[in-house]
Chains A and B, each alone.
Chain A
């Protein structure tokens, strides 16, 4: 199951990289509202990437890195004595 999940997310990452540049619009000079169509694709794609990254951070964060993959429970013990709760915290801007 974990293995399948890993392969699935890897595939998603590859697709995100592969189509950030719309190769299928190569040499295309059409514009929509004064902006090249290929730039519209890119803008939309980056928005999609953000949503996908957000989903990943909600559902699969830790995949391939932490043995259990679940990060909702348990904290990493701090070897430096700086801060113990690693899920929350940080300076406020």
Chain B
């Protein structure tokens, strides 16, 4: 009963998503700008929810509540600070400026924007290349996650390769068809669905156990230390390091960064900016408190099991628990499809097209042709990450897990470039390479430690990137083809 119901709900979701994709395909122009950015037309609700759903992966439903169960609910504070405040501020500081530049110059990717300012196609390729190196294992992790979930759900009836393969084929079909517009529409539905379902789950649980006061009393009897703010796990250094690196990392993640270009108007950006903290607190408080309160309830969580589905299975009807699992699967897929699309755009626009233009002396490729290449790019990217996931490479898993901190290393050099005219190409290259190499070394070698008096290597690397960019810019002169005024004078509102 449960299995059939869960499968029916998941298949139902896939069919609904495909239908939305078809509608999006029908209204779309056949241009790369439409495919990648929905021709920069998003309204407030769509932009807010597509960014929200893209940002939240299975973490909100699985790993997050698990940590709250084991260590206490302080993660809510970290999530609120990183997503609700730091990312919201970057939404203005990086996002609004990027949006203006995109409106003025037609940029679609971060690499394109930086390559133009610093006058070098190779620099554009460097930014895209670094982003793709980190994005690839992260997409792979999502495929692995969805494949494993399907296998677990069917009790092994669907083997891992078939589950992950099925998800990959579906994602390719969907992304190639729907493009950014279709993805954003399903994200909007999904974001609203996640919000509602999490609140219903919390209220349901509280109604059964007798309200928050008795739930907290039970938690106090089981693990009183979870109610006090802070612990050996949640130290101030760790909370701040995590919130800062992930908050900045999110802004550089291709699928989030690209959404800065897609807003329909300034008003859309303003409204989403103000609504952001409320949206975060509305989702994180219920999902993490379910995890925290579960500790005091009479449920056994097996080693490696996920708290949320087990608690819901115990306290709510079967159909409801199944709906939440479907929501979590959908959350995983909504992040993956956006990443796939952004990965393809970085690849075709910043690596493939410049090489083609250089080799064949063509000044520009037609919009239709680029649109076609973009869709082929999605197929190549998804197939490659699926095939690699079958080999189970440990190094790539480690890279995927660290993706947010890796992207955070790009943030400060980009910020400096956006706001300081004196920034030079040499400074940017030095800052980016130094912080990337430092962080990589902290992951894979013993020479560079991963903790500095409680602060993480991710945040130390960010500091290194900042110092490198500013320091080298100060002692170098700009190359002749750099356009130093591009990010400043071009923004006059006339």
Q: Contact partner of A74 among B104, B227, B494, CB < 8 A?
A: B494
CB pair B41–A91 under 8 Å, yes or no, is: yes
Asked if B117 is at the interface of the complex by the 8 Å CB criterion, the answer is no
Given A21-B77, A65-B97, A65-B491, verify A89-B41 contact (CB < 8 Å). yes
Contacts of A53 in B (CB 8 A): 88, 273-274, 276-277
State in angstroms the CA–CA spacing of A26 and B270 once bound together. Answer: 34
Contacts of A80 in B (CB 8 A): 33, 40, 103, 106
CB pair B216–A35 under 8 Å, yes or no, is: yes
**Interface secondary structure of B, over-half rule:** helix
**Interface magnitude class on chain A:** 35 or more
CB pair A20–B85 under 8 Å, yes or no, is: yes
Contacts of A5 in B (CB 8 A): none
Q: Contact partner of B42 among A42, A57, A82, A90, CB < 8 A?
A: A90
Contacts of A20 in B (CB 8 A): 77, 80-81, 84-85
Contacts of B280 in A (CB 8 A): 46
Q: Contact partner of A27 among B106, B228, B488, CB < 8 A?
A: B228
Given A76-B104, A91-B46, verify A35-B212 contact (CB < 8 Å). yes
Given A43-B285, A50-B275, verify A34-B211 contact (CB < 8 Å). yes
Asked if B44 is at the interface of the complex by the 8 Å CB criterion, the answer is yes
Asked if B200 is at the interface of the complex by the 8 Å CB criterion, the answer is no
Q: In the complex, what's the smallest C-beta–C-beta distance from A72 to chain B, in angstroms?
A: 10
Contacts of A13 in B (CB 8 A): 89
Contacts of A77 in B (CB 8 A): 103-104, 494
Q: In the complex, what's the smallest C-beta–C-beta distance from B237 to chain A, in angstroms?
A: 12
CB pair B216–A34 under 8 Å, yes or no, is: yes
Q: Contact partner of B265 among A46, A50, A56, A89, CB < 8 A?
A: A89
Q: Contact partner of A42 among B77, B88, B227, B228, CB < 8 A?
A: B77
**What number of B residues sit within 8 Å (CB to CB) of A?**
73
Q: A34-B214, A38-B229, A80-B33 are in contact. List 17 more A-B contacts (CB 8 A).
A: A22-B229, A23-B236, A27-B230, A34-B216, A35-B216, A35-B289, A36-B229, A42-B77, A42-B281, A47-B278, A49-B85, A50-B277, A66-B100, A67-B488, A77-B103, A85-B265, A92-B43
CB pair A26–B230 under 8 Å, yes or no, is: yes
Q: In the complex, what's the smallest C-beta–C-beta distance from B277 to chain A, in angstroms?
A: 4
Per-residue interface assignment for chain A, residues 75 to 89, with 1 indicating a CB less than 8 Å from any chain B CB and 0 otherwise:
111111011011111
Per-residue interface assignment for chain B, residues 223 to 240, with 1 indicating a CB less than 8 Å from any chain A CB and 0 otherwise:
011011110000010010
Contacts of A22 in B (CB 8 A): 229
Q: Contact partner of B100 among A17, A68, A76, A93, CB < 8 A?
A: A76
CB pair B270–A57 under 8 Å, yes or no, is: yes
Asked if B38 is at the interface of the complex by the 8 Å CB criterion, the answer is yes
Asked if B45 is at the interface of the complex by the 8 Å CB criterion, the answer is yes
State in angstroms the CA–CA spacing of A10 and B227 once bound together. Answer: 33
Asked if B96 is at the interface of the complex by the 8 Å CB criterion, the answer is yes
Q: Contact partner of A88 among B33, B267, B488, CB < 8 A?
A: B267
CB pair B274–A61 under 8 Å, yes or no, is: no
State in angstroms the CA–CA spacing of A35 and B219 once bound together. Answer: 11
State in angstroms the CA–CA spacing of A20 and B87 once bound together. Answer: 13
CB pair B270–A61 under 8 Å, yes or no, is: yes
10 smallest A-B Cβ distances: which pairs? Answer: A90-B264, A34-B212, A90-B43, A34-B213, A29-B228, A57-B270, A54-B274, A93-B45, A80-B106, A46-B281
